[in-house]
Amino acid sequence: MDFLSDHQPEMLPGKRQLPPVQGVIEAPHGTTIVAVTFPGGVVLAGDRRATMGNVIAQRDIEKVFPADEYSAVGIAGTAGLAVEMVKLFQLELEHFEKVEGAQLSLEGKANRLSTMIRSNLGMAMQGLAVVPLFAGYDVDRGRGRIFSYDVTGGRSEEHNFAATGSGSIFARGAMKKFFHDGLTEAEATMLVVQALYDAADDDSATGGPDVARRIYPIVTVITEDGFRRLGEDESSEIARSILERRLEQPDGPRAALL
């Protein structure tokens, strides 16, 4: 943001002087984010756990945010920095929209986020990485799209599904087996919660649905009608139905062998 960097550069992430530090700084880290496209839109979801070393720093952290009307960003990595980055990203999209009177293209938004991640490279080298997943509905092309990033700001478009964070390997494996082309919105939301469940199953840093405390994954859907976050009743319904099935089949649905 040019105006901010001219006037108050210290407010921008990545513009701060870093003290030399030995070793890794302990700060809460967010864990798993998953996204999947379906005809007509895209679903982005995240678990609710933040960890600090071996400690659960927060049980009910929110890691999926609307970026604007037609896009959302889910964050993995250092929670404090990531939340600030998202806040600045939201601000920038809104500012552009108000000043120019038009929205940025989805590609433009994804590129902008890429620059912001790159500006955090210094911090990332000290163990404070931010690795988001960006999903949105491309109004011009009429479909949902997903972009994933690496710590250096490298951006790549993902097709069908993507995951980021510590549990992403397990979530990706699950999604690979569950995904097919003609998913409905309801199936897509079910799919992401299944994938998060599998991630939580094998990754200690990812939190599963917490029935006792009523903490369920955050699931958001972006379609032609814009961004929508599933209410607690909807996400709890999905999580509970999965939980019930898993009492019989702890490893989840079986895919056909051939």
Partner 1 sequence: MSTPFYVSPQQAMADRAEYARKGIARGRSLVVLQYADGIVFVGENPSRALHKFSEIYDRIGFAAAGKYNEYENLRIGGVRYADLRGYTYDRDDVTARGLANVYAQTLGTIFSSAAEKPYEVELVVAEVGETPEGDQIYRLPHDGSIVDEHGSVAVGGNAEQISSYLDQRHQDGMSLAEALKLAVQALSRDTNGSEREIPAERLEVAVLDRTRPQQRKFKRIVGRQLGRLLETGGATTEAESAEEE
CB of 230 to partner 1, least distance (A): 15
CB count, 10 Å around CB of 10? 9
Task: For residue 241, give Cα distances in angstroms to 51, 70, 148, 194.
Answer: 27, 29, 29, 10
51 catalytically annotated: no
Does 18 sit near partner 1 (CB under 8 A)? Answer: no
- C-alpha distances (whole Å) from 102 to each of 12, 134, 156 are 24, 20, 25
First to last CA, the chain: 52
Burial code (b: 16+ CB inside 10 Å, e: under 16) for 188-222 equals bbbbbbbbbbbbbbebebbbbbbeeeebbbbbbbb
Q: Is residue 254 near partner 1 by the rule CB under 8 A?
A: no
Of 173 and 226, CB closest to partner 1? 226
What x-and-dash track marks residues 92-131 binding partner 1 by CB under 8 A? --xx--xx-x------------------------------
**Shortest distance, position 60 Cβ to partner 1, whole Å:** 21
Active-site pick, 31, 32, 51, 206? 31
Q: Is residue 19 near partner 1 by the rule CB under 8 A?
A: no
Sheet hosting strand 218-223, strand order edge to edge = 161-164, 33-38, 41-46, 218-223, 226-229
Quick one: tokens of 124?
A: 């990332």
| 3 contributes a contact to partner 1 by CB under 8 A | yes
Instruction: Quote the least distance from Cβ 240 to partner 1, whole Å.
Output: 27
Q: Which of 25, 91, 125, 211 touches partner 1 (CB under 8 A)? A: 91
> Which pair of tokens denotes residue 24?
């890794």
Among residues 15, 16, 59, 87, the one that binds partner 1 under rule CB under 8 A: 87
Instruction: Provide the binding-site residues for partner 1, judged by CB under 8 A.
Output: 3-4, 7-8, 11, 87-88, 91, 94-95, 98-99, 101
Residues designated catalytic: 31
